[in-house]
Each structure stands twice: as structure tokens, then as C-alpha cells.
Chain A
């Protein structure tokens, strides 16, 4: 199996603030992994380290088995790691279609293109030429997912995709994530929504205070125990 992403004793900082302490984790091709933990424990910093928005100053990070040095924000996408960022970050002055085309900037080969994304999310086709921010929160999340899939990633990193969405939309997301994973894309799902985690993930990491405190298969896990790690 190909190891798509690997953190080995990673220490990451924002300026002088030391946020990640010796974090080790990995995602293999086709895996469905969740990263859970309360607010402020450093889950988003894991994403930001992948994107070089937090600085990596100890340990190693590998994409596809290759250690990353001189990392830039655009490196991850080119290595097949697409991110659906927290808050979705839809670009306001671009139309929905243009936001999707921007996602295809890296031109990796694969099944995902405008036509197949529109098939997955028909609402995006209907409103293709309206500004991306004219959509509801759930639709914007679909646009952010569609944009990431346009790159035909081997790993999709989802940072709190259920945040601020109604339960019925979260149900739809679970179906979509499973469909993407069934089609071969590995998932790293950063979440606090237990029902979404249990429906999508097979393996999980639990974070607290900038470190991984537990890891293992989701099957047979004590849900009560997990709940304690997530809810404040």
C-alpha cells in the first residue's frame, strides 16, 4: 500500500507558539481516517502544516513516501493531497464554475472533471454562473468538496466539514464521503460530529493539547469514551 501522508514526530509552530508536539500519524491509499479532538487542540494546525501555513520545525512530513523540504502552500495539491478547508473558503468574486475550474489547477488525471462533479452535485450545475458565495452553507460545502475533487486527489483532507450545517445536510455529507472513498480516494476527516465520524471513518486518531493521545480502529471502540474526548 502507498503511504500518502505521514507525520513523524512533527512539531509545528505559528511564530513562536508551539502548537503540535511530536505528532505522528499516517494515511494509506484508500483509507478512511478520522482525526478528532476538542476545539483548539491543534487539529487545523495539522492541515496548516500540510499547507505550510504553520511552520514545521521538528520531525518529518512525507507525501507519497517523499520527505518534504522547502514546502510551499501549493506543494500538497501537486502531490495529490486536496484540502477542503475550515470555513470552506469559496472565492467570492469567482462564479461557481470558476471556483471549480480553479480546483482543477493541477490537472492530475482521474475520473473527476466538471461533468462528473456536476453529476454528483446537480445544484452546482444549475447555478454554475452565479457567484460562489450566493449559495447556502451546505451548498458551499459541496462546492468546496467539488473544487477539491477537481484535482483528482489521492487523499482528501476535510477540515470540520459539518461545522454550522443542519443534521440533514450532514447526513448527505456522510453519503458523499463514502461515495468518494468507494471510488478510491483516501479521506482524512477532521471532525467533532460523532455521527459523521462513525459513519465514515474506519480508523481514528484522538488529539489533545497538540499531541495524539490515542489511535486505533473505530470498530469496537467505546463510543462513550470517544464522546468524552470530543465534547467540551
Chain B
């Protein structure tokens, strides 16, 4: 029983990790706390749903990731770049406004009823784990999460662009002084961050049900992950996502009355212990 709950925690942790890593990327380059991120997650799920009716799950996945990358690029080009000298609070309000706009757009196209995205056939069914059946699809989510983490780490640590991103996320001015076009870099990075939110939305489609507000819960948990991990730190966000996934999964079973409170209790405790988060590299 507890082993199954830990696995469920791993599944949710993987989703959180994908969403939070997009938030970390965007915060790093643009210093924007992107409230619209949850609606990008939701948009990914809906676009995949619409495309999957024609082209199946794989087609839906590709369509959603590509569409969200385009949305992210436009968000940076026509949003964050124009607002980069404004008060961070203004930018935060704009992203909050976008969240409402995206939700309304989706609601006016698909209505309020919830939909379900069908998992690919090969991943339907269950396997026996620790004596009880466990959906294969959930294991696939963990695999996707691990793959995303490995790709991100490899990209950021070993590529030239990754070096520029790490430099710019600590000191954009000095990085630009070396001849790096940080605006173009940010466009690409926000596109990747948005595509990751879309990817998480798609893979959680068969697991959660689709509704215009489906992004809100995971957005709040992702913010908790980013804060616990230490703003702008990937390693911190990975670890925090896994911890929060476990807290949510185990909390729902063993402390159901307090489950809603646990993420915030955890965040408060971590911030008292380490005010700049687990990684502690930056405030």
C-alpha cells in the first residue's frame, strides 16, 4: 500500500518537475513570476485533445508542444521583452491577466464540461506492482519526467547555449556584454518553458480530467516547488518536486484532513530553515 502511494507521489512529482522547470527557466532569464504558466499547461492538454481526435495521442502531443512553444515565443517577444524595464509587479499582473484570458478562450471554445484525453493504446492497462495493479500510463509519466530532467541537465550543463542560459540567469547584463543576444536567448528559453508546460498538460491529460481551471492546482504546487527549491535553481526544483509529490500522495492517504495544508506547511518550514530555499544559491 505505502509502496503504491510512493509511486503515485513519484508520478505527481514528475509532473510538478516538468511544470516547475519551465517556471525556473522563465524566471531565470526574464525575472518574471509567470502566473500564466498554469494556463499554458491547460492549453497544452486541450490542444492535444483536439488534435488527438484526428491524429491520435502522439499527434496531439506533438501539436501541443509545438503550439505552446509558439505561444511562449510570442509571450516573450510581445510581452516580457516589452515589459522588461517595468516594475516586476506590473509584469506579474499581466501574466495573471493572461491566465484569465487563456481560461476564457478555452471555455468559450470547449465549454465548461470536462473532457478526457485517451492514453495511447500501448500504455493502457495495468501491471502488478507490489501485489496490486498499477496503471502502466502512470509509470510512463515517471519515465517522461526522468527523460525531461536528463535532457534539461544535459542541455544546460554541456551545451554552448546552456552556458549562455546559466550565465544570463545569474547576470544578464554581463552575459550580454560578452556578445550574447540575451533577448533572442530569452525568446527561445520562454518557448522551451512554455512547451514544457504544454508537455506536462498533455501527459497529465489521461490522468486528470480536462477543465479550463485544471492548471490552477498544479500552478500553486509548482510555485511551492520553485520557492522550496530556491528561485532559479534547477537542482533545487527537481528535489523539491519529488518531495512535494510524496507529501501530496502520502498526505492524501494518511492525513486527509490536512492534505491541502501540507505543501504550505512544508514551504514555511523550509523557508524558516533556509530562507533562500534548498539550493540556497540565490535569493
A residues adjacent to B (C-beta < 8 A): 51, 53, 72-74, 76-78, 83, 85, 89, 91-94, 98, 101-103, 105-106, 147, 151
Indicate which residue in B166, B170, B173, B282 contacts A73 across the interface (CB closer than 8 Å). Answer: B173
Are B167 and A91 in contact, with the CB atoms below 8 A?
Answer: yes
Are B175 and A91 in contact, with the CB atoms below 8 A?
Answer: yes
Indicate which residue in A72, A85, A101 contacts B174 across the interface (CB closer than 8 Å). Answer: A85
CB of A204 to closest CB in B, whole Å: 24
Are A105 and B173 in contact, with the CB atoms below 8 A?
Answer: no
Indicate which residue in A78, A85, A91, A106 contacts B170 across the interface (CB closer than 8 Å). Answer: A91
Are A72 and B164 in contact, with the CB atoms below 8 A?
Answer: no
Interface residue B209 (Cβ < 8 Å from any Cβ of A): no
Complex CA–CA separation, A147 to B164 (angstroms): 14
Are A89 and B166 in contact, with the CB atoms below 8 A?
Answer: no
Q: 7 additional contacts, CB 8 Å, given A74-B179, A89-B177?
A: A76-B177, A77-B178, A85-B177, A91-B170, A101-B160, A102-B175, A106-B179
A-contact 0/1 string along B67-91, CB 8 Å cutoff: 0000000000000000000000000
Are A102 and B170 in contact, with the CB atoms below 8 A?
Answer: no
CB of B274 to closest CB in A, whole Å: 17
* Chain B interface SS verdict (over half): helix
Select from chain A the residue with minimum beta-carbon distance to B169: A93
Complex CA–CA separation, A228 to B205 (angstroms): 73
Complex CA–CA separation, A147 to B166 (angstroms): 16
Interface residue B281 (Cβ < 8 Å from any Cβ of A): yes
Please report the total number of B residues contacting A with Cβ < 8 Å: 20
Complex CA–CA separation, A105 to B166 (angstroms): 13
Complex CA–CA separation, A220 to B176 (angstroms): 40
Are A94 and B181 in contact, with the CB atoms below 8 A?
Answer: no
Are B180 and A74 in contact, with the CB atoms below 8 A?
Answer: yes
Indicate which residue in B170, B177, B281 contacts A77 across the interface (CB closer than 8 Å). Answer: B177
Known: A94-B167, A102-B164. A151 touches B174 (CB 8 A): no
CB neighbors of A among B161-193 (8 A): 163-164, 166-167, 170-171, 173-183
Are B171 and A105 in contact, with the CB atoms below 8 A?
Answer: no
Known: A74-B179, A106-B178. A53 touches B173 (CB 8 A): yes
Complex CA–CA separation, A98 to B175 (angstroms): 12
Are B179 and A77 in contact, with the CB atoms below 8 A?
Answer: yes
Complex CA–CA separation, A143 to B282 (angstroms): 22
Are B181 and A72 in contact, with the CB atoms below 8 A?
Answer: yes
| 19 A-B contact pairs sorted by A residue (CB < 8 Å) | A51-B177, A73-B173, A73-B182, A74-B176, A74-B177, A74-B178, A74-B181, A89-B174, A91-B175, A93-B166, A93-B170, A93-B281, A94-B163, A94-B167, A101-B160, A101-B163, A105-B164, A106-B178, A106-B179
Select from chain B the residue with minimum beta-carbon distance to A101: B163
- Enumerate chain B residues within 8 angstroms of A105, measured Cβ to Cβ: 164, 178-180
Complex CA–CA separation, A85 to B178 (angstroms): 11
Are A94 and B170 in contact, with the CB atoms below 8 A?
Answer: yes
Complex CA–CA separation, A91 to B167 (angstroms): 7
- Enumerate chain B residues within 8 angstroms of A85, measured Cβ to Cβ: 174, 177
CB of A161 to closest CB in B, whole Å: 15
- Enumerate chain B residues within 8 angstroms of A101, measured Cβ to Cβ: 160, 163
Q: Which 7 A-B pairs have the closest CB atoms?
A: A77-B179, A106-B179, A73-B176, A89-B174, A105-B178, A105-B179, A74-B176
- Enumerate chain A residues within 8 angstroms of B182, measured Cβ to Cβ: 73-74
- Enumerate chain A residues within 8 angstroms of B183, measured Cβ to Cβ: 72
Select from chain B the residue with minimum beta-carbon distance to A103: B178
Known: A74-B182, A105-B164. A91 touches B176 (CB 8 A): no
Are A147 and B170 in contact, with the CB atoms below 8 A?
Answer: no
| B166, B170, B177, B281 pick with most chain A CB within 10 angstroms | B177
Select from chain B the residue with minimum beta-carbon distance to A89: B174
Known: A94-B163, A94-B166, A102-B164. A147 touches B173 (CB 8 A): no
- Enumerate chain B residues within 8 angstroms of A73, measured Cβ to Cβ: 173, 176-177, 182
Select from chain A the residue with minimum beta-carbon distance to B185: A74
Complex CA–CA separation, A86 to B171 (angstroms): 14
CB neighbors of A among B257-283 (8 A): 281-282
Select from chain A the residue with minimum beta-carbon distance to B176: A73
Select from chain A the residue with minimum beta-carbon distance to B282: A93
Are A147 and B178 in contact, with the CB atoms below 8 A?
Answer: yes
